[in-house]
Amino acid sequence: MPDATTGPPAATRDSGEQALRAALETARTGLGAGARIVRDESDGLCRVRITLGPARHGRTPQWGVAAYDRTYVAGEVASGVRQLLDDRALVARRRPLPGPVSGPTLLTPSAAGVLVHECFGHTSEADNYLVHRKALGLGLGDVWTRAPLTVWDRPTARPYAGSYVRDDEGTVPRAVPLVREGRWAGLLTDRATRALSAGRSTGHGRGAPGAVAPRCSVLEVGPGTRSETELLGGIDDGWVLGTAIGGFSVREHLIIEALWARRVRAGRLTADVVGPVAVCAPKVALARQITAVGREIQVHSSPYACVKDSHEVGSTLISPSLLLGRCVLRPLGQVERLLTRTSAPVH
């Protein structure tokens, strides 16, 4: 349940409102007449969404932010404008990807955050763990990644989207380490699944009465030791996976959708840009390809809801870049067709 009772004082809200209006006016000027800026606020959560033209999935650059603090939202707008301008330039020169390609792939923090959300966040929700662990072939204490990856779920991390002070069962939530140094370390539970967390709910029960389920919230990846430039320099022939535009957890598989991918040769970015693209892979197999973790962290406090069993909750992804030893990139349309075949396994 959102915490609407402990918001900032009136004077702070007023200064935040002024800062946000100024930031959005600057964004309009910088992005031009074609930009569409939508702002709304409910239950204390302030959201801003910007699209560079009519919203078309995989074609239109878009960005957004949400938080329980207008000043925080205002401070994020400038970086959002920079991302949108970069994405617009890359989309203008990208070519369609004719078929699958593979190689070492550096996931930007945007794409890496979606991987973490789908692979470790949803999979560590206790109800999903009980249903899918056999097919997954992995259990608590087992190794997820070769790299020393650490992932926490921090539901009280204000002012981010997805944060809260009590879950929908009234339990005060606690931070949970999902992955520690590459090993599966913990699960997110509600009262019904509390046996999986030493008999006490972790406070992640979300949903209406009678339909509560464990949900991930603010996911945070611990930083590594290598810069993004160092990670890029280690790729002889591969790709950078760019701005994420969607993600799905489909049983023991995951999907990451991205606006663009850019070719890397001899440790340098080339002019070859393709997109839109998608990654569709078994979670365990893809996680085992994580070979290094970047040290520069980016926060994406998202205005877009995460949906599970028709119930929406907010989410925030805090992540550095992740390097995959091998990854298969596919045309987005190919993966969208797979998603429509609900009876077929997703690969």
Report whether pLDDT(339) > 80: no
The 10s digit of each residue's pLDDT in 86-108 is 999 999 999 999 999 999 999 99
Answer yes or no: are the C-beta atoms of 24 and 48 closer than 8 Å: yes
The 10s digit of each residue's pLDDT in 140-168 is 999 999 999 999 999 999 999 999 999 99
Answer yes or no: are the C-beta atoms of 149 and 182 closer than 8 Å: yes
Give pLDDT, residue 336. Answer: 72
The 10s digit of each residue's pLDDT in 266-305 is 999 999 999 999 999 999 999 999 999 999 999 999 999 9
Burial zone of 342 (CB within 10 Å; 0-12 exposed, 13-18 middle, 19+ buried): exposed
Answer yes or no: are the C-beta atoms of 295 and 224 closer than 8 Å: yes
Token pair listed for 99? 């078929």
pLDDT (average), residues 213-242: 97
Residue ranges and CATH numbers for the domains of the chain are 10-93 (3.30.160.40), 101-340 (no CATH)
Answer yes or no: are the C-beta atoms of 248 and 70 closer than 8 Å: no
Q: Give the pLDDT band (50/70/90) at residue 342.
A: very low
Report whether pLDDT(337) > 90: no
Report whether pLDDT(317) > 60: yes
Instruction: Tally Cβ neighbours within 10 Å of residue 241.
Output: 30
Q: Give the pLDDT band (50/70/90) at residue 132.
A: very high
Give pLDDT, residue 309. Answer: 82
Token pair listed for 95? 């070519």
pLDDT (average), residues 98-121: 98
* Those residues with Cβ within 8 angstroms of residue 92's Cβ, 6 or more apart along the chain or in another chain: none
Give pLDDT, residue 5. Answer: 40
* C-alpha neighbours within 13 Å on the C-beta side of residue 133: 14
Report whether pLDDT(120) > 80: yes
3-state secondary structure 87-119: HHHHHHHCECCCCCEEEEEEECHHHHHHHHHHH
Give pLDDT, residue 12. Answer: 59
